[in-house]
Structure 1
């Protein structure tokens, strides 16, 4: 006798969740594009055969997820929104704050992202993109006397220029998000930096090393520098029992940079 199939328990699905699922799938397929509008609430009620309250709950969820923009009393349907890194950042920040993601995991991911972006940029960059990195680095130098906020913006511009040179937009988006989430988690500690000028000068040196490796087409060196610099910058914030996760990404001949051998001054926020 053939063995009977075994089924798994199912979770009840509310009507508004089905609406959300269908609209999300239409957006992912490209049937609904940014700037286009959904049918009006009345039409959605008729199409889905549900109450107006159910449609409004679905629109509320879609808006919370950053997929649509819906205005109360607007006779037109909800507008489909373009993808925004802010949506991904919100989700990752929530995960991090709920301890689903540790700071060590975030930094390890950032080390991977930065290293990969540098590796690709060294192989694919154009002369125009090199000039963009040069310009960002010069702004960093000029911003030291203006304070760390101006410096931080120039620092971010440098990283974004390298990420764009990698040719991978997802790398750029993910790097922006992970950098922002990690810095948010340690913002209070960063605010009590001891020697901001020294930290900014050190950061300029590291960025110049990256640019030199990218200009020379040495992707391996550019990736290695990124991993080491991020390790040195963040390791003092990571609990000692989790630092091995970061060291695992360092080349054997790099060492630990001496960053986790004892207490060290808290770095300033320079947009790393």
Structure 2
């Protein structure tokens, strides 16, 4: 058996680990302030350059926000999907994960979200879905070269469904995966000739899923969600890779 060389952990990494742990365990709540650089140096018994490197890493990761000259110290930020979005985007754009794998994950995630929403949604959340669907219908006949308003209403519908799961992880993952998938095919959509027909199909799918959520028909809602995603994206995926999706239909 052969062992790998041991890597020395830098001091700033230990500082980052402790601050991240304090944030994750709730000892440092969003909006609170870290001590000043001088206080951090004293508490961690490290140099100013070590503290500054740790803060730079924490800021890049979206854990804290630091403003030059601010005497109150770096501010602890609330959890954000930004870092998750960057990581998934990098994975999706790499050679290891493509649109087929991304769509498979989204089908799993959204079908579960719709099943949960059918059981857990509130009347207010149902009203939000209905409003988003009305807005989508209102923009069916707007300029088909600009999908901005229609797409925004579509996003609002999916966000309302995700919120109805009562699970912030579903909300964050759904937002990220949906956004990355759209980025991967936006150029193809921009040159599609049947955008009006595509909008009509999307509205029809959403109306069916809304009915299922309204009626509490969780299995039907989940099945419809998978089918809608397949119908929307499958043509952008090589036939040889569609076998990854078939078991979910």
**Which TM-score band (shorter chain)?**
over 0.9
Alpha-carbon distance between aligned partners in 1 of 2:183 and 2:3, rounded to the nearest angstrom = 44
**Correspondences of 1:160-175 after superposition (within 5 Å):** 160-175=159-174
Partner of 1:216: 215
Please say if 1:11 is aligned against 2:7.
Answer: yes
**Correspondences of 1:64-79 after superposition (within 5 Å):** 64-79=60-75
**RMSD (Å) for aligned C-alpha atoms:** 1.7
Given the two structures, how large is their TM-score scaled by the length of structure 2? 0.93
- Alignment deviations for residues 22-78 of structure 1 (CA, whole Å, 9 cap, x no partner): 111111111111111111111112222222111111111101100000122322211
Partner of 1:30: 26
Of stretches 134-143 and 98-107 in structure 1, the one that deviates more from structure 2 is 98-107
Partner of 2:43: 47
Partner of 1:102: 98
Residue 86 (structure 1) shift: 1.7
Of stretches 181-190 and 53-62 in structure 1, the one that deviates more from structure 2 is 181-190
Partner of 1:136: 132
Of residues 59, 74, 88 in structure 2, which corresponds to 1:63?
A: 59
Residue 163 (structure 1) shift: 1.5
Residue 9 (structure 1) shift: 5.0
Alpha-carbon distance between aligned partners in 1 of 2:96 and 2:51, rounded to the nearest angstrom = 32
- Runs of 4+ in structure 1 deviating by more than 4 angstroms, as ranges, are 6-9
Alpha-carbon distance between aligned partners in 2 of 1:41 and 1:24, rounded to the nearest angstrom = 17
Q: Please, which runs of 5 or more residues in structure 1 have no aligned partner?
A: 1-5, 251-272
Q: How many positions carry a matched residue from both structures? A: 245
Please say if 1:84 is aligned against 2:48.
Answer: no
